[in-house]
Amino acid sequence: MTVKGSVMVNLEGLEAARGGGSTAAVARCLALALDEIDYGLLLLDDDGCVVHANHAARSELEGGEALQLAGRELRTRAACDSAPLSEALAGARRGLRRLVTLGAAGRRVSVAVIPLAPASGDGGQATLVVLGKQQMCGHLAVQCYARSHGLTPAESRVLEALCDGLDPRAVAEHHGVGLATVRTQIGHIRAKTGAASIRELVRQVSVLPPMVSTLRLAA
């Protein structure tokens, strides 16, 4: 069992599964694994200090409009959001889960604040903060889904537009083609994916694993 701040991570089982190895190497693998998830994840120690933020969280904190880091302290950008976040973090220290919405109208983000009970009874409770996504279907997930089902580039663009919330007429206008062409492409997409409707098609994409682009990780 290793401890970073008050965040306790059970590494023995992971080491046994991979045939031994240093805890530092396993911790590095865990950090890389978190970076591959397209949801912002932050771990806070018992004092409310951030001890780890994955790639998506770092990107959101650097360029987002709701949250920011001041040293190791997680803060809101708008003064009116400070109290809801503080109350949620205080609630987590009492074992309560909270969902708060922060940010200005049109750029609001949902934040889940989740208490993580210590793995042993020696005190120190961590808090997990999960940042909501800004879009329902990520571009990478759509492209991977399209490739796995053999969609053409034109069909992939139509799928991405549908996942962005456009209806067939708006897709046709956006792509500069006729409505009949888009309807034909949607028919082909449904046939290849087995989706019974546009709603079902979008649902299939929306529940895909949240993958991060390798281009984002390299940035």
| Angle ∠(56,34,65) on CA atoms, nearest 5 | 20
CB 108 within 8 Å of CB 86: no
Residue 54: how many CB atoms within 10 A of its CB? 23
Asked whether residue 54 falls in the same domain as residue 150, the answer is: no
Query: 22-31, 48-57, 83-92, 141-150: which range is least confident on average?
Result: 22-31
**CATH number of the domain within which 62 lies:** 3.30.450.20
* Same domain? 126 vs 148: no
Last residue of a domain, one of 131, 154, 184: 131
Indicate whether 102 and 195 sit together in one domain.
no
- Residues 106, 48: one domain? yes
Residues 61 and 127 in one domain: yes
Return d(Cα 125, Cα 3) in angstroms, integer. 11
Instruction: Average the pLDDT over 145-159 and give the result.
Output: 94
What are the tokens at 24? 């530092």
Answer yes or no: are the C-beta atoms of 67 and 61 closer than 8 Å.
yes
CATH of the domain at 190: 1.10.10.10
Q: Which helix (H) or strand (E) holds 60?
A: helix 55-63
Number of folded domains in the chain? 2
Q: Is the pLDDT of residue 20 over 80?
A: no
pLDDT of res. 39: 87
Same domain, 153 and 94: no
Same domain, 114 and 11: yes
Task: Give me the pLDDT at residue 37, please.
Answer: 84
Q: What is the mean pLDDT of the segment spanning 143-170?
A: 93
Provide the pLDDT confidence category of residue 144 given band limits of 50, 70 and 90: confident
Boundary (domain end) residue, out of 79, 112, 131: 131
Which range of residues forms the domain containing residue 104?
2-131
pLDDT of residue 62: 87
Mean pLDDT of the chain: 83
- Token digits of residue 205: 């994409």
Say whether both 10 and 112 belong to one domain: yes
Whether 212 contacts 37, CB under 8 Å: yes
Give residue 135's pLDDT. Answer: 66
**Do residues 199 and 150 both lie within one domain?**
yes
113 and 173, same domain (yes or no):
no
pLDDT of 136 reads 67
Evaluate if residue 209 carries a pLDDT over 90. no
Q: Is the domain of 72 the same as that of 143? A: no
Chosen domain end from 69, 102, 131: 131
Q: Label residue 198 by pLDDT band (50, 70, 90).
A: very high
* pLDDT over 70, % of the chain: 81
Is pLDDT of 187 > 90? yes
The reply to whether 117 and 150 lie within a common domain is no
- Residue range 35-92, pLDDT digits in tens: 888 889 999 998 889 999 998 899 888 887 889 998 899 999 999 999 999 999 999 9
Confidence of residue 129 (pLDDT cuts 50, 70, 90): very high
151 pLDDT more than 90: yes
Number of helices followed by number of strands (H, E) in the chain? 10, 9
